[in-house]
Amino acid sequence: MAAFYFELVSPEKLLFTGNVEAVGVPGSDGDFTVMKDHAPVMTTMRPGIIDVNESGAKSVRLFVRGGFADVSTKGLTILAEQAIPLDQLKADDIAREIKNAEEDLADAANEDARTKAQERLDQMRELKAALGI
């Protein structure tokens, strides 16, 4: 399979840069896979799993909390709000985050706080479902 350039950036750091064969992206309008010579597109991403297929059988999976994906003639760039390798996520941590989000939702003092808390809760539940835990 032909390779193309891919870069994954979060506010904290550059998480991945290099040539890959395919990247599965959780787009806001649905999941899509980018391969070499993909048509240019820029889209927002929903919380979900990015599957990075490097050369051969090597692959990397990361949870992203949202962001932007930009496919151009130069390759794919993802600017993620947050990105965490799946092997660094633990079921206990996710359960704790869900509980905290539920408490934040119950304690929300106004509509804006309620909306933010609900979004966070939905994201963590989606992560739990994506991981099958």
**Residues 22-45 pLDDT 10s:** 999 999 999 999 999 999 999 999
Mark whether 29 and 73 lie in a shared domain: yes
* DSSP assignment letter at 41: E
Element counts in the chain: helices (H) and strands (E): 2, 10
* pTM for this model (two decimals): 0.77
DSSP run (H or E) holding 81? none
pLDDT given at position 36:
94
Mark whether 61 and 101 lie in a shared domain: no
pLDDT given at position 87:
84
Domain count, the chain: 2
By three-state DSSP, how is residue 65 classified? coil
Whether residue 56 is predicted with pLDDT greater than 80 in this model: the reply is no
pLDDT in tens, 72-117: 999 999 999 989 888 888 888 889 989 999 999 999 999 999 998 9
Q: Which domain holds residue 117?
A: 90-131
User: Which pLDDT band, with edges at 50, 70 and 90, does 129 fall under?
Assistant: confident
Mark whether 50 and 105 lie in a shared domain: no
Mark whether 82 and 106 lie in a shared domain: no
pLDDT given at position 109:
92
